[in-house]
């Protein structure tokens, strides 16, 4: 371990992890409510980013073809609205007809959806990566000076450099996650969703409109995905690849446990952290393993705790 690099990598890792946590939350939401692992979530994230890019009229280098460019904030609202409609449409037209079919078939449908979303996006916006009309300059940084102790540097170059955009995305992601969890925990709609997630037939028997709850889950997943997409795009621009970037949320979920929001958030932070921390290693092979490090970690965690760190344990009375 190259200790002098650790503080810098630690901070960057945590900040990266925030967005992952938010994206992971969307997948957990769908899984909790309907037991469907949504492989299309990464593509919803990508679509969200493209939508904001489109509504905001693109960038000064490349216009999006939107006749009247909207201010960034309005573009975000417009994109979220579309994402909600897309979420509702997905539930209504692809998943509801599958009710009662084997779970595997439904999960495969989400794989198909992923392709559909990718194809549609390419068709509408082309394959070229775009710049993102980010309200924050991606080159501005926040520098934290760490003075050497007894003439001995504890941090490389005596300072930790944080990209301002990463700090902002982290804060936004955490706020969004907290709002969502409060909603789930304390509102009646949240109770409806929690009940449905436990037992569909039972939820039906107490008069909960289960299809409506599913629709709502997908709509919220659309919102979360779009916010995640915006945050990713602010850091790395808009492209089809965002869907793949969002795939890193999968290890985050498995790590935290498929059914736990808290676990998804923690999982996201850990994955972000691990992917950055390996870069502080002195061994070159480890240093270059940032992409696979989270998966190695999952293997270890799942061997010890098969339900993930915070997975729901089956309640069994003895």
Partner 1 sequence: MLKVNNIEVVYSDVILVLRGVTLEVGDGQIVSLLGANGAGKSTTLKAISGLLHSQQGEVTRGSIEFDGQRIDNLTPDDIVQLGIVQVLEGRPLFEHLTVEDNLRTGALFRGVSNAQLKQDLDEVYHFFPRLLEFRNRTSGYLSGGEQQMVVIGRALMAKPKLMLLDEPSLGLAPLLVQNIFRIIEQINAESGVSMLIVEQNANVALQTATYGYVMENGRVVLDGSAEALANNADIKEFYLGIGAGGERKSYRDVKHYKRRKRWLG
Q: Which residues bind partner 1 (CB under 8 A)?
A: 99-100, 188, 191-192, 194-195, 198-209, 312, 315, 317
Residue number with CB closer to partner 1 (150 or 188): 188
Three-state secondary-structure class, residue 69:
coil
3 state DSSP class of 162: strand
CB atoms within 10 A of CB 142: 12
Shortest distance (Å) from residue 31 CB to partner 1: 15
32/279 with CB nearer partner 1: 32
Burial class (CB in 10 A: 0-12, 13-18, 19+), 213: buried
Could you count the other beta carbons within 10 Å of the beta carbon of residue 110? 19
Task: Write down the least CB distance from residue 107 to partner 1, Å.
Answer: 20
Nearer to partner 1, 303 or 318 (CB): 318
Minimum separation from the CB atom of position 217 to partner 1 (A): 16
Nearest approach, Cβ of residue 212 and partner 1 (Å): 9
User: Is the Cβ of residue 192 or residue 279 nearer to partner 1 in the bound state?
Assistant: 192
Q: How far is the CB of 304 from partner 1 (least distance, A)?
A: 23
Backbone angles phi, psi at 210, to 5 degrees: -60, -45
Is residue 23 within 8 A of residue 231, CB to CB? The reply is no
Cα angle 81, 83, 87 (rounded to 5 degrees) comes to 120
How far apart are CB 271 and partner 1 at their closest, in Å?
A: 25
> Judged by CB, which is closer to partner 1: 212, or 305?
212
Residue 2 to residue 285: CA distance in whole angstroms: 14
Half-sphere CA count of 185, side-chain side, radius 13 A: 9
Nearer to partner 1 by Cβ, of 188 and 285: the residue is: 188
């Amino acid at each position: 371990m190259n200790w002098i690099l650790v503080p810098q990598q630690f901070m960057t890792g945590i900040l990266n992890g925030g967005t992952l946590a938010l994206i992971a939350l969307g997948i957990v939401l769908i899984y909790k409510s309907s037991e469907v692992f949504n492989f299309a979530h990464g593509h919803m994230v990508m679509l969200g980013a493209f939508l904001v890019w489109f509504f905001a009229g693109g960038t000064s280098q490349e216009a999006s073809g939107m006749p009247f460019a909207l201010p960034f904030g309005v573009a975000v609202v417009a994109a979220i609205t579309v994402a909600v409609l897309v979420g509702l449409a997905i539930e209504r037209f692809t998943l509801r007809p599958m009710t009662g079919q084997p779970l595997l078939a439904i999960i495969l449908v989400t794989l198909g959806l992923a392709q559909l979303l990718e194809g549609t996006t390419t068709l509408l916006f082309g394959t070229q990566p775009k710049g993102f009309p980010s309200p924050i300059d991606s080159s501005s940084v926040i520098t934290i000076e760490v003075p050497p102790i007894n003439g001995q540097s504890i941090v490389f170059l005596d300072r930790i450099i944080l990209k301002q955009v990463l700090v902002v995305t982290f804060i936004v992601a955490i706020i969004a996650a907290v709002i969502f969890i409060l909603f789930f925990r304390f509102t009646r709609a949240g109770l409806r969703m929690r009940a449905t997630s436990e037992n569909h037939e039972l939820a039906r028997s107490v008069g909960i409109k289960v299809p409506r709850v599913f629709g709502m889950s997908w709509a919220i997943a659309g919102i979360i995905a779009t916010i995640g997409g915006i945050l990713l795009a602010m850091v790395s621009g808009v492209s089809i690849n965002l869907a793949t970037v969002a795939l890193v949320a999968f290890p985050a979920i498995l790590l935290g446990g498929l059914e736990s929001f808290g676990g998804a958030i923690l999982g996201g932070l850990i994955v972000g952290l691990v992917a950055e921390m390996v870069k502080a290693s002195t061994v070159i092979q480890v240093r270059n393993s940032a992409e696979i490090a989270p998966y190695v970690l999952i293997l270890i965690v799942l061997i010890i705790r098969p339900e993930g760190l915070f997975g729901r344990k089956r309640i069994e009375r003895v």
